[in-house]
């Protein structure tokens, strides 16, 4: 795993940050209640009683001895493709920076100074060969092995090294960048192998990670499952186990076991400010691994269901703005043109709260659920629309990486109108560029709109799922929201061409 520190993930109208070190091929690869007795007059309610463990933990030596023959080191020879690099004169190699990069001019001047040629001459660098190392584990007696996609990415040769030192050349059977999983195969029979867990592990369960950190091979660390269902920045999968067993560079693709010797997850990333273990690592859970691996073993790649909507999480403000009791679900920004969702009647502003009766907590939950469905299958969406629940059946398509996103048709530009203040601290003017809605020209810095992150230049497209093109329409829509007894308006706004829903508090409605 080549550790790469993920930068702060910026979200419009809200920010969250998760620093991650994730593996990328190129270097070594792998992050009772007690108290006074109750009296006859006073009885404690809901007191927690922890069941006593059947046996005190005596160590993991027997477990490790049993599973280590099936855990392997993955050695990779790989090539990065040719790339254009900036060069000055002499032997000075310019970093490959875009012209708008803040250090582009600096390095160009540096090249001028030391090479006399400047930094804008380009030549193609030869493909770069490199070695990488990671971990994996055998899942069948005939030689199928699971590892991470980033461990074998760009590999020209994959070598599997067993704990006893035996080496075998492996063939890549299939990879899935979305879940960062890969299957390779060696020739053999009656090989030692391990199985996936049969009963889902729980937070607090003991786990043991075995792998090849820093190329050391056969290293064992222990800890517990710290959390489940983690969504980590930079991943479009987002359902990781969090463990506190030490995981470092080179552990990528290696297994995490429960105390029965069953694989509970595949180690794939760590959280770290410095590149080393700090006690927070992430593993792809066994339930996902089994599903993906079964498809990869066929050699036909992965197929996923496709709904065709852009979505976002439902915040409390959004829920308040549409009369939804709980801030859960995924709100549809726009259905893609000619997508399965659009053809079935899904609309912008619809909130998907369940799929086939399974509750949806957030946008990532909807994406995972739909991706787990078979293409051409029919699903029933439970949708919150206009203050009521409805159901829509959708026949899914097939997800492709380059699924086209259609642009909505642009309305006729309105006539020039002077900016006008609104009742919520926004000074608005009809959008003159033909994209519709109202442009924010000024904001009262003490208003709820400023607090929610609205900015000058944002476009207000809809209020309560109704298009607005004038300030009068905007105020009428706000009044209609208050008339419903709601104190938060659902606003559909756009910034930089990206639409998003925001719940805008309206005060006490007076």
Catalytic-residue membership of 150: yes
Choice among 28, 135, 176, 180 that is catalytic: 180
The full length of the chain comes to 510
Please list, in sequence order, all residues whose beta carbon lies within 8 angstroms of the beta carbon of residue 438, skipping any fewer than 6 positions away: 428, 429, 430, 431, 459, 460, 468, 469, 470, 471, 474
Structure tokens at 335: 């259905």
The answer to whether 88 touches 78, Cβ cutoff 8 Å, is no
What does the radius of gyration of the chain's CA atoms come to, in whole angstroms? 28
Task: Using alpha carbons only, give the angle 274, 280, 286 rounded to the nearest 5 degrees.
Answer: 130
The answer to whether 3 touches 253, Cβ cutoff 8 Å, is no
The answer to whether 107 touches 95, Cβ cutoff 8 Å, is yes
Please list, in sequence order, all residues whose beta carbon lies within 8 angstroms of the beta carbon of residue 44, skipping any fewer than 6 positions away: 35, 38
HEC readout, 271-323: CCCCCCCCCCEEEEEHHHHHHHHHHHCCCCCCCCEECCEEEEECCHHHHHHHC
Structure tokens at 61: 């030596």
Q: Is the dihedral of CA 289, 303, 393, 489 positive or negative?
A: positive
Catalytic-residue membership of 101: no
Choice among 150, 235, 320, 348 that is catalytic: 150
Choice among 135, 252, 272, 339 that is catalytic: 252
Phi first, then psi: give them for residue 430, nearest 5 degrees: -55, 140
Catalytic-residue membership of 180: yes
CA–CA distance, 498 with 281 (Å, rounded to integer):
33
Structure tokens at 347: 């609309």
Provide the annotated active-site residues: 150, 180, 252
């Amino acid at each position: 795993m080549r550790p790469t520190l993920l930068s702060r993930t910026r979200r419009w109208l809200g920010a969250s940050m998760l620093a991650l070190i994730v593996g990328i091929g190129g270097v070594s690869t792998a992050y009772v209640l007690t108290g006074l007795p109750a009296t006859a007059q006073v009885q404690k309610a809901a007191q927690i009683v922890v069941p006593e463990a059947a046996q005190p933990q005596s160590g993991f030596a027997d477990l490790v001895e049993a599973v280590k023959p099936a855990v392997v080191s993955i050695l990779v020879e790989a090539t990065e493709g040719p790339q254009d690099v900036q060069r000055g004169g002499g032997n000075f190699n310019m970093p490959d920076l875009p012209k708008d990069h803040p250090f582009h001019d600096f390095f160009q001047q540096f090249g001028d100074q030391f090479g006399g040629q400047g930094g804008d001459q380009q030549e193609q660098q030869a493909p770069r060969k490199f070695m990488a190392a990671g971990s994996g584990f055998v899942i069948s007696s005939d030689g199928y092995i699971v590892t991470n996609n980033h461990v074998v990415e760009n590999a020209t040769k994959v070598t599997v090294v067993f704990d006893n030192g035996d080496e075998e050349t492996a063939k890549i059977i299939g990879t899935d960048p979305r879940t960062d999983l890969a299957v390779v195969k060696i020739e053999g029979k009656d090989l030692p192998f391990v199985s996936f867990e049969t009963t889902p592990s729980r937070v607090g369960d003991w786990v043991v990670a075995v792998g090849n950190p820093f190329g050391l091979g056969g290293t064992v660390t222990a800890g517990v499952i710290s959390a489940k269902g983690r969504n980590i920045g930079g991943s479009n999968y987002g359902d990781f186990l969090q463990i506190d067993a030490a995981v470092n560079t080179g552990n990528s693709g290696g297994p995490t076991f429960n105390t029965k010797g069953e694989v509970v997850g595949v180690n794939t990333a760590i959280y770290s400010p410095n590149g080393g273990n700090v006690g927070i690592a992430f593993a792809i859970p066994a339930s996902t691994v089994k599903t993906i691996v079964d498809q990869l073993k066929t050699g036909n790649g992965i197929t996923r269901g496709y709904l065709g909507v852009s979505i976002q999480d439902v915040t409390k403000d959004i829920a308040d703005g549409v009369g939804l009791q709980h801030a859960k679900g995924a709100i549809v920004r726009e259905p893609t043109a000619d997508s399965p969702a659009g053809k079935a009647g899904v609309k912008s502003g619809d909130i998907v709260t369940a799929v086939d009766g399974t509750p949806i907590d957030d946008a990532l939950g909807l994406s995972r659920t739909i991706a787990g469905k078979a293409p051409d299958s029919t699903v029933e969406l439970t949708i919150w629309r206009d203050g009521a629940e409805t159901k829509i059946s959708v026949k899914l398509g097939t997800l492709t990486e380059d699924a086209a996103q259609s642009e909505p048709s642009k309305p006729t530009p309105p006539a020039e109108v002077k900016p006008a203040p609104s009742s919520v601290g926004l000074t608005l003017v009809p959008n003159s560029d033909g994209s519709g809605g109202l442009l924010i020209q000024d904001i009262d810095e003490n208003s709820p709109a400023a607090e929610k992150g609205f900015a000058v230049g944002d476009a207000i497209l809809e209020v309560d799922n109704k298009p607005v093109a004038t300030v009068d329409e905007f105020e009428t829509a706000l009044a209609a929201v208050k008339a419903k007894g709601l104190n938060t308006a659902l606003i559909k706004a756009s910034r930089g061409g990206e639409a998003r829903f925001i719940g805008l508090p309206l005060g006490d409605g007076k």
